A and B are shown apart, each in its own frame.
Chain A
Amino acid sequence: MKRLIEIKVNGERREAVVEPRTTLQEVLRDQLDLTGVKEGCQSGECGACTVLLEGRSVLSCLILALEVGERPVTTIEGLARGDALHPLQESFIEHGAVQCGYCTPGMILSAKTLLDQNPHPGSGEIQKALEGNLCRCTGYNKIIEAVLVCGEEQS
């Protein structure tokens, strides 16, 4: 049976109509047009669908939309302030940490979870924080560098 729900996403309350089996990822992409949430493996192995739930990275393909309740969701679309990109987004561009771009939203949101808790991480800590996000293009070095420099610049 379909139900009308409200989700707090990127600071706004949005309405969606969902079935019990609808995942958070399906709602965000298909109903709310937040297509920065990528569809990857659909089984919790690649991290492309990563969003923030109460500020922490989660896999939106393995969360039922009905389970979100009042908890705030942040997608990559919620990071920029108007035309001003988030420092992590700027750093990814500056360091060439984006190739095909499919993993990038998830990478940036996982990196944000790390920087919010540990503003100046070392490369080992960054590697550990991003291990749930797979990239098939870059070889990871530029991604780690982008997060490392962003952390250093915030100091």
Chain B
Amino acid sequence: MKLPTINLHQPTTLAEALNLSNTLGPGSRFLAGGTDLLARLKRGAAKAAELISLVHIPELRQIRGLTIGGGVNLYSLLEVTDLHRQFRALSQAAAVVAGPQVRNQGTLAGNLCQDTRCLFFDCSDGLARARPLCLKRGGEECLAVPGSKKCFAAYQGDTAAALLALGAEVKIEHLGGSRRLALADLFSGYGDRPLSLAPGEVLTQIILPQPQSEIRSGYRKYRLRGGIDFPLAGVALNLVPPCSETPQGEVRVGLTGLSSRPQLLNLGGKASPDELAEAVHRAARPVDNVGGQARHRRYMACQMARDLLEELRNEAAD
């Protein structure tokens, strides 16, 4: 399976990369670790004639305090001292992304910006063309939810759920400016165009919140095999201790694999496991499009949330 013909640009500064993107226009894509984009280009599930590599830009690979460069690969992220102690949900999520080779190549920004997946879209070009094209490939209707004019492709990034629960922000840069937004605003909710990034914009930094001494967080993932697979359901929890604004504290919940965007739920700090499971059940709306049964994925999300909450609270009591 060969890649289609492409042009590759290899800028060494971010300014150069943004200039290139502006000049080359919407037919260009940024390329980081390549584990998502190159595989999709081979399958015909993404199109790009011009690739702008971000691999040779040192500033994107820097970690300064709580600010992580978008080009930091997942392996390097897992090597960060204190990551597991202070941001356990992120360390647990990054550690179960795909397999070791992908974690050695794939970047944190790339993991966040991965495209959505669906058995009808994210398959070989030959298989996709052996039946009517799905909406995301340019067809008339969604094949996972027949008759629908909306794309239901699932967002399956692990680290997004963890970073949502932890309250991370992201920095987006474009030629001549930048904006900083809550991670939730990076995602559009549309299966066929899951990111809210405009052409020419690139995610350059992930900004973690100041860790609090009592923060307890974790991530649980349901997948068919113990390795490699994307989450059929993923749940991150963050127990935020009481403060003046939220005297009861908060339970922040990040969900992935259950909708076209990663979802953030906020519950009161005293939410019971049953209340949490009920909230997850209401929020999760999977359809049968990424393997496993949708109802089972939803059930597993509720179960994982309940178990994780009990585990984190027991740990807090120890």
Flag if B39 contacts A62 (CB, 8 Å): yes
Residue of B nearest to A21 (CB): B3
**Cα A17 to Cα B85 with chains together (Å):** 47
Residue of A nearest to B100 (CB): A132
Residue of B nearest to A43 (CB): B39
Interface residue from B39, B42, B98 paired with A132 (Cβ < 8 Å): B98
- Smallest distance from the beta carbon of B61 to chain A beta carbons, Å? 13
- Smallest distance from the beta carbon of A18 to chain B beta carbons, Å? 10
**Cα A43 to Cα B227 with chains together (Å):** 16
- Smallest distance from the beta carbon of B45 to chain A beta carbons, Å? 10
Q: How many residues of B contact A (CB 8 A)?
A: 31
Please provide the chain A residues from 34 to 80 with a CB less than 8 Å away from any CB of chain B in the complex: 42-45, 47, 50, 53, 56-59, 62-64, 66-67, 69
| Among listed B5-13, B187-195, B293-301, interface-contacting one | B5-13
| Among listed B101-109, B140-148, B309-317, interface-contacting one | B101-109
- Smallest distance from the beta carbon of A140 to chain B beta carbons, Å? 11
Residues of B within 8 A of A43 (CB): 1, 39, 42-43
Flag if A113 contacts B100 (CB, 8 Å): yes
Residues of A within 8 A of B179 (CB): none
Chain A: interface secondary structure? Answer: mixed
Interface check B34, CB cutoff 8 A:
yes
Residues of B within 8 A of A131 (CB): 99-100, 226-228
**Cα A75 to Cα B135 with chains together (Å):** 42
**Cα A134 to Cα B167 with chains together (Å):** 36
Interface residue from B3, B51, B99 paired with A47 (Cβ < 8 Å): B99
- Smallest distance from the beta carbon of B40 to chain A beta carbons, Å? 9
Flag if B2 contacts A62 (CB, 8 Å): no
Interface residue from A42, A58, A69, A110 paired with B105 (Cβ < 8 Å): A58
Please provide the chain A residues from 78 to 97 with a CB less than 8 Å away from any CB of chain B in the complex: none
Contact flag A132-B102 (CB < 8 Å), given A23-B3, A43-B39? yes
Interface check B55, CB cutoff 8 A:
yes
Please provide the chain B residues from 13 to 53 with a CB less than 8 Å away from any CB of chain A in the complex: 31, 34-35, 38-39, 42-43, 51, 53
Interface check B75, CB cutoff 8 A:
yes
Interface check A129, CB cutoff 8 A:
yes
Residue of A nearest to B75 (CB): A56
Interface check A128, CB cutoff 8 A:
yes
Flag if B2 contacts A59 (CB, 8 Å): no
Flag if B228 contacts A132 (CB, 8 Å): yes
Residues of B in contact with A (beta carbons under 8 Å apart): 1-8, 10, 31, 34-35, 38-39, 42-43, 51, 53, 55-56, 75, 98-102, 104-105, 226-228
Q: List 19 A-B contacts (CB under 8 A).
A: A21-B8, A23-B38, A43-B42, A44-B39, A47-B99, A50-B101, A53-B104, A58-B105, A62-B35, A62-B38, A62-B39, A62-B105, A63-B34, A66-B10, A67-B53, A69-B56, A113-B104, A131-B99, A133-B99
* Cβ-closest 9 pairs across A and B: A132-B99, A131-B227, A20-B8, A42-B1, A21-B3, A43-B39, A56-B104, A132-B101, A59-B101
